[in-house]
């Protein structure tokens, strides 16, 4: 099969299109013919080597974290799926590789594709959808009437998270460019701050939850818009000790994670708010819960551009430039 390979870690290093063997199928796996693959910032960060301390893939390896396609074979222990089923998924860490023609995934990571979505639309959902679900529902426990600030509202994560937060009954503030204001308002944002001309910490106050997806400076400023007892949840780092413990990292790496987040955790305590880091996990059962929201159009996919499979490197470059409104997708089949 054809696949895009990371031969060597390197910043903005091009992936290599290669002919590789089809993946082996384990007893609890489904083999999926890939029709479309979402492109995420996580792909670029892994290619660049940013996550090597705790996500160590040994080159050469296939990149890619979002998939929609058709089941072509199943392992002997698989009960949920059969050949011919249309599915979507975010394969678990250690078994990524959606920039390819086929992928084998544990059936627990996979869900039936929403019936009303195209393959490209479905492939845009899993990583950002699961991240939003785990941030807003699992960790923040966001409730009706609460106020949440979701940064970078026109991005892949932001466009999904705004819609989920509104479904939960929250009041939503976000940042976006003037050109993207109409988009995020159409998704449900109540307050839109033009990050080029306004400072969000001078506009927002007494928020229950802030979801940080930006840099360290923005992370620190986010503390000042929370009310006492509020939660600052970051999906862009720095990782905290709880994250290191969940991964089962060795003592050295645990100490490193503790040191990386010591400053922001101390400032959060001084401000009387909580800080936590979330690195999303694969979860087919949660995708099953997201599917009805997509089929009812409560949440709709937002896609900026679809690239042909042969232009996967161009798709990564376009996504990493940071100007995409919604998701970038590669059409494989």
Taking 90 as the threshold, does the pLDDT of residue 324 lie above it? Answer: yes
Supply the range of the domain harboring residue 239.
Answer: 127-277
Q: Quick one: DSSP state of residue 53?
A: T
Mean pLDDT of 237-255: 84
In a domain, 288, yes or no: no
Helix (H, G, I), strand (E, B) or coil at 166: helix
Q: Tens digit of pLDDT for each residue in 59-90?
A: 999 999 999 999 999 999 999 999 999 999 99
Taking 90 as the threshold, does the pLDDT of residue 92 lie above it? Answer: yes
pLDDT of residue 323: 87
Nearest to 213 by CA among 268, 261, 258, 161: 161
pLDDT of residue 237: 87
The answer to whether 160 and 299 have CB atoms below 8 angstroms apart is yes
CATH code (residue 213): 3.40.50.720
Q: Tens digit of pLDDT for each residue in 186-214?
A: 999 999 999 999 999 999 999 999 999 99
Taking 90 as the threshold, does the pLDDT of residue 51 lie above it? Answer: no
Mean pLDDT of 278-307: 98
Q: Tens digit of pLDDT for each residue in 249-274?
A: 788 888 888 998 999 999 999 999 99
In a domain, 294, yes or no: no
Same domain, 113 and 228: no
Same domain, 86 and 224: no
Domain count for the chain: 2
- Residue 121 phi/psi, 5-degree rounding, is -65, -45
Q: Tens digit of pLDDT for each residue in 14-35?
A: 999 999 999 999 999 999 999 9
Unique residue bearing structure tokens 């997201």: 290
pLDDT of residue 245: 83
Same domain, 137 and 243: yes
CATH code (residue 24): 3.90.180.10
In a domain, 289, yes or no: no
Same domain, 186 and 318: no
Nearest to 286 by CA among 151, 184, 164: 164
Same domain, 113 and 131: no
Taking 90 as the threshold, does the pLDDT of residue 241 lie above it? Answer: no
Using the Cα atoms of residue 68, residue 188, residue 168 and residue 274 in order, give the sign of their dihedral.
Answer: positive
For residues 263 and 270, give the distance between their C-alpha atoms in angstroms, rounded to a whole number. Answer: 11
Q: Tens digit of pLDDT for each residue in 105-120?
A: 999 999 999 999 999 9
Q: List the single range of 53-67, 98-112, 149-163, 264-278 with lowest mean pLDDT.
A: 53-67
Taking 90 as the threshold, does the pLDDT of residue 55 lie above it? Answer: no
Taking 80 as the threshold, does the pLDDT of residue 247 lie above it? Answer: no
């Amino acid at each position: 099969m054809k696949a895009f390979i990371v031969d060597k870690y390197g910043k903005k290093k091009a992936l290599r299109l290669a002919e590789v063997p089809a993946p082996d199928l384990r007893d609890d796996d489904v083999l999926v013919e890939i029709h479309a693959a979402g492109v995420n910032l996580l792909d670029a960060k892994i290619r660049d080597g940013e996550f090597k301390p705790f996500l160590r893939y040994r080159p050469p390896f296939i990149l890619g974290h979002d998939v929609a396609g058709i089941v072509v074979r199943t392992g002997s222990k698989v009960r949920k799926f059969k050949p011919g089923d249309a599915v979507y998924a975010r394969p678990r860490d250690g078994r990524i590789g959606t920039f390819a023609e086929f992928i084998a995934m544990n059936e627990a990571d996979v869900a039936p594709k929403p019936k009303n979505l195209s393959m490209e639309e479905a492939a845009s959902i899993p990583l950002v959808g699961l991240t939003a679900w785990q941030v807003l529902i699992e960790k923040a426990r966001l409730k009706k009437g609460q106020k949440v600030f979701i940064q970078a509202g026109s991005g892949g994560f932001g466009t999904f998270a705004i819609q989920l937060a509104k479904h939960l009954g929250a009041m939503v503030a976000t940042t976006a460019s003037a050109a993207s204001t109409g988009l995020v308002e159409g998704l449900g944002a109540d307050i839109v701050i033009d990050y080029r001309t306004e400072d969000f910490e001078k506009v927002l106050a007494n928020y229950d939850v802030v979801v940080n997806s930006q840099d360290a400076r923005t992370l620190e400023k986010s503390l000042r818009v929370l009310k006492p007892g509020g939660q600052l949840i970051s999906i862009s780092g720095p990782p905290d000790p709880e994250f290191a413990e969940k991964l089962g990292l060795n003592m050295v790496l645990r100490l490193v994670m503790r040191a990386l987040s010591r400053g922001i955790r101390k400032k959060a305590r001084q401000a009387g708010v909580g800080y936590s880091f979330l690195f999303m996990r694969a979860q087919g059962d949660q995708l099953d819960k997201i599917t009805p929201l997509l089929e009812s159009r409560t949440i709709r996919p937002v896609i900026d551009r679809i690239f042909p499979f042969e232009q996967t490197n161009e798709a990564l470059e376009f996504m990493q430039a940071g100007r995409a409104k919604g998701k970038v997708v590669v059409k494989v089949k």
